[in-house]
A and B are shown apart, each in its own frame.
Chain A
Amino acid sequence: MQTSIISEIPKYNYNAIQESLLLYSENINENYYFSNRLIDDWKSWIGNSYLIESMEDNLQNYLLKIKSSALTLGIEKLLFLLMGNGILILNSDEIRNYLLQHQDIVWGILPICDKIREKFRHSAEITIALYMDNEINDSYLVVYVRQAKYIHNIMDIIDQINDDSEMLLKRKSGWLLITTDFKPPTNT
């Protein structure tokens, strides 16, 4: 369960709203997952509070300022968040280049990795890498789940996450596969 950033901020604090928007700023245009999180946070935080009318214009102007058509920052933020969630990133430059060409999957990756983390908690090492199949000139992202002592139904859990993830990946130009190679974690 991720802590809502906004709900920790005292009510009626205009600067706090600005700050919370800034935190999400690079994601607003791009990201269904983040946008919905933002809306949920706003609703739970603001609730039925009455706010002064001029605030709407101020916030609209503020949104205009922070909306951006930049492409690379979202990827940088994603990698940073993955690393912060304890996910190992193998050859980040390859992943960056892949995501630049497949922007439409960028914002599916974090919720999928959140889901993996939720299912396995700290009993697994999670690594993201780019898989390149040179025979058919194809590449896609792979998330490896590795355990020191593998549970018997690990493939069932992984299959279920793969099924659930299809919603976020269908009709996208890129792809992400969750699997295991049954190797021990690298940190053991």
Chain B
Amino acid sequence: MNKQYSNPPIVEAVCEFRFSNDTQWDMVVPGLLYEKIKSEFPIREPKMIQDINIKLDNNKIEPMLNPHERIIFKNNDKNILIQVDNNLLAINHLKPYPTWAKFQPLIISTFKKLGEVVVFKQIQRIGLRYINRIEIPEPQVELEKYFKFKPDLGDQLPHDIGNFLLHCVLPFKPIHSECNIRITNAVPPIDGKSAFILDIDFYLEEPMNATTGEISSWIESAHTQVENIFEGCITDNLRKLFGVN
């Protein structure tokens, strides 16, 4: 994030592209992409996906399962994954997350390499998502001590919260985007600690031309917003736990 932390909470960063349905995508695309990235991502694994679609038939809505195979390429450390599916490219960076200065070029170079093997005109959706797992060395946490983004129960309800999930959607109209922010409690690593998931999912709301320039510009703006949102969700007490430099 924009502050540098010695103990950052990011457990996963994902940039996902979903291309429009008119993209000339066929089953050889993953293999062609593999030829271009195999020196960095030599491990190739298939993964069965159960996609759900909704079909209107005789005025009845029927959800339908669409099982298919997704190909995943991994680096030797198995902490960076490239997922390729019909009209989909996703770049996942598991912890340890490096910095945006290293993740951003990986996104752009993978996007460019895919562009060398398939022609796409439009992007239906881009998502830049950061999943943070925050551990606090206290069995019971006063949320306001560590979070600015938290449930507010008012004056009359008891403030002992068991499980919770808070979800907000923030519009970012100038860049045709929205951001899902979610915070929930999670399973702590050991007794005596508490854990929370802070999930920031920033995504494009309207289709965009699939040019490298427009993509670069959007993901740069998205990342800036994600940084600001992250910092806006936490307090200085949490920054200290992350080891602010």
- The docked-state distance in angstroms from the alpha carbon of A67 to that of B49 is 12
Which among B12, B16, B63, B189 has the highest number of chain A CB atoms within 10 Å? Answer: B63
Point out the residue from B51, B129, B184, B186 that lies within 8 Å of A70, measured CB to CB: B129
Which of A50-58, A109-117, A119-127 lies at the binding interface? A50-58
Which among A50, A76, A84 has the highest number of chain B CB atoms within 10 Å? Answer: A76
Determine if A158 is an interface residue (Cβ-Cβ < 8 Å): no
Determine if A134 is an interface residue (Cβ-Cβ < 8 Å): no
A-contacting residues, B68-108, CB 8 Å = 78, 81, 83, 88, 90, 92, 94
Determine if A46 is an interface residue (Cβ-Cβ < 8 Å): yes
B61 / chain A contacts, CB cutoff of 8 Å: 46, 51, 55-56, 59
**B11 & A72 in contact (Cβ 8 Å cutoff):** yes
Point out the residue from A50, A68, A80, A101 that lies within 8 Å of B59, measured CB to CB: A50
**A69 & B92 in contact (Cβ 8 Å cutoff):** yes
Which of B137-145, B197-205, B215-223, B229-237 lies at the binding interface? B197-205
Determine if A151 is an interface residue (Cβ-Cβ < 8 Å): no
**B65 & A73 in contact (Cβ 8 Å cutoff):** no
Point out the residue from B50, B53, B186, B189 that lies within 8 Å of A63, measured CB to CB: B53
A69 and B52 contact, Cβ closer than 8 Å, known pairs A53-B59, A93-B189, A103-B47: no
Closest A residue by C-beta to B15: A69
Nearest Cβ distance between residue B194 and chain A, in whole angstroms?
Answer: 13
**B60 & A100 in contact (Cβ 8 Å cutoff):** no
B-contacting residues, A6-56, CB 8 Å = 22, 28-32, 35-36, 38-39, 42, 46, 48-51, 53, 55-56
Determine if B188 is an interface residue (Cβ-Cβ < 8 Å): yes
Determine if A89 is an interface residue (Cβ-Cβ < 8 Å): yes
Determine if A187 is an interface residue (Cβ-Cβ < 8 Å): no
B16 / chain A contacts, CB cutoff of 8 Å: 68-69
B131 / chain A contacts, CB cutoff of 8 Å: 70, 72-73
Determine if A141 is an interface residue (Cβ-Cβ < 8 Å): no
**B54 & A56 in contact (Cβ 8 Å cutoff):** yes
- The docked-state distance in angstroms from the alpha carbon of A48 to that of B62 is 10
Nearest Cβ distance between residue A86 and chain B, in whole angstroms?
Answer: 13
Closest A residue by C-beta to B197: A76
Closest B residue by C-beta to A103: B47
- The docked-state distance in angstroms from the alpha carbon of A122 to that of B163 is 23
Nearest Cβ distance between residue B147 and chain A, in whole angstroms?
Answer: 17
Determine if B14 is an interface residue (Cβ-Cβ < 8 Å): yes
**B129 & A68 in contact (Cβ 8 Å cutoff):** yes
Closest A residue by C-beta to B57: A56
Residues of B within 8 A of A (CB): 11-12, 14, 16, 18, 45, 47-56, 59-61, 63, 65, 67, 78, 81, 83, 88, 90, 92, 94, 124-125, 127, 129, 131, 133, 163, 167, 184, 186-190, 197, 199, 201, 203
Q: Which 6 pairs from chain A and chain B are nearest by CB?
A: A69-B90, A56-B56, A79-B187, A35-B50, A72-B12, A50-B59
Offer 28 A-B interface pairs, CB within 8 angstroms, sorted by A. A22-B167, A29-B49, A30-B50, A32-B50, A32-B67, A46-B60, A51-B56, A59-B54, A64-B124, A65-B125, A65-B203, A68-B127, A68-B201, A69-B90, A69-B92, A70-B92, A70-B131, A71-B12, A72-B11, A72-B12, A72-B94, A73-B199, A76-B133, A80-B184, A91-B190, A92-B188, A101-B78, A103-B47
